[in-house]
Amino acid sequence: MTATAEPLLSVRDVTMTFPGKRGRAAPVRAVDGISFEVAAGETLGLVGESGCGKSTTGRMIVRLLEPTAGSITYDGRDISHLRQRELKPLRRDLQMVFQDPHSSLNPRQTVARIIADPLLVQGHSAAEARKRAAELMALVGLIPEHIDRYPHEFSGGQAQRIGIARSLATGPRLIVADEPVSALDVSVQAQIVNLMERLQRELGLAYLFIAHDLSVVKRVCDRVAVMYLGRIVEVGDKERVYTAPAHPYTRALLSAVPLPDPAAERQRERITLLGDPPSPAAPPPGCTFHPRCPKAREICRSEAPRLRIAVPGEARQVACHFPEEP
């Protein structure tokens, strides 16, 4: 997967705050001032534990959610606060693939209708949309003759292929894939990852690949961004982040990924984090990772570290007062 220099997507200081439930509880800052870019044709992996804000980030990018603050720029245009009518042309370019393929497909619609729907919304005729749906089924490895079947007649992997075909219908340039393989068996996961890589090569797609499984992200992405409690704590080239993580949280996550070599697996040090992530409704002061960080010092409890270049000679950014030396 290769990338060009110009960012296709630019996310700057984006925040998402949800109101407290029934107006009584404290507001929840699910995403807290994150910034990153995705270049045309590249894959950025967005990783972190459940509830860290990565799915909310994906939904803001495709504008299923409107950010509370900050800016999202797509192809040079600020899309952060576009109204529904203004979003229609954007939907051609920005699409989403969801985690659970069956629950994201309408069980009462045929595959023809599911895949053709984005084209009908964009004003294509029913005949054109059906013809394109059959072509897309073939492109993602489904049998076009099955076009009039319903989602329950397909396996989980096939249903995810239908979801991918639907996302491709309007010819997007960027796809936000939110845990696209985590609901699938391991053998099927590899098939879907292979399909996404082939489609990227053939169609020049960019992906924001959201996942909690670092092994999958390592395979598919060019760069990786690590999220913790609504903030990005490390972002950089995949090989460098995976081989020499600079943030203590990245190190802990990677230390839990099984190694293929049993001897190396026996020898390596596992970093166990204390406790669960704090609630985004009541984040700790300073560095929000400090209650779980084995390297925390006094300054960490009061002063939040900024995301900054922390490794000389690399475009890697780390939010830590005491990043690891590579």
Under rule CB under 6 A, residue 322 binds ligand SF4:
yes
In order, the DSSP letters of 76-131 are TEE-TT--HHHHHHHHHHEEEE-S-TTTTS-TTS-HHHHHHHHHHHTT--HHHHHH
Is the Cβ of residue 1 or residue 296 nearer to ligand SF4 in the bound state?
A: 296
Region binding ligand SF4 by CB under 6 A among candidate stretches 79-87, 117-125, 136-144, 315-323: 315-323
Beta strand 28-39 pairing with 206-211: unpaired
Residues between 266 and 305 that touch ligand SF4 (CB under 6 A): 287, 289-290, 293, 295-296, 300, 305
Is the Cβ of residue 223 or residue 247 nearer to ligand SF4 in the bound state?
A: 247
Site string for ligand SF4, 78-107 (x = CB under 6 A): ------------------------------
* Residues 34, 11 contacting (CB under 8 angstroms): yes
Instruction: Return d(Cα 132, Cα 154) in angstroms, integer.
Output: 20
Is the Cβ of residue 176 or residue 300 nearer to ligand SF4 in the bound state?
A: 300
Is the Cβ of residue 39 or residue 307 nearer to ligand SF4 in the bound state?
A: 307
Under rule CB under 6 A, residue 74 binds ligand SF4:
no
For residues 185-200, one letter each, b for 16 or more C-beta atoms within 10 angstroms of the residue's C-beta and e for the rest, the string is eeebbebbbebbbebb
User: Nearest approach, Cβ of 166 to ligand SF4 (angstroms)?
Assistant: 40
Under rule CB under 6 A, residue 14 binds ligand SF4:
no
User: Nearest approach, Cβ of 143 to ligand SF4 (angstroms)?
Assistant: 51
Site string for ligand SF4, 248-267 (x = CB under 6 A): x-------------------
Task: Report the candidate in 299, 297, 323 with the shortest Cα–Cα distance to residue 310.
Answer: 323
Instruction: Kindly report the backbone phi and psi dihedral angles of residue 46, in degrees, each rounded to the nearest multiple of 5, phi listed first.
Output: -120, 110
**Binding-site ranges for ligand SF4 (CB under 6 A):** 248, 287, 289-290, 293, 295-296, 300, 305, 320-322
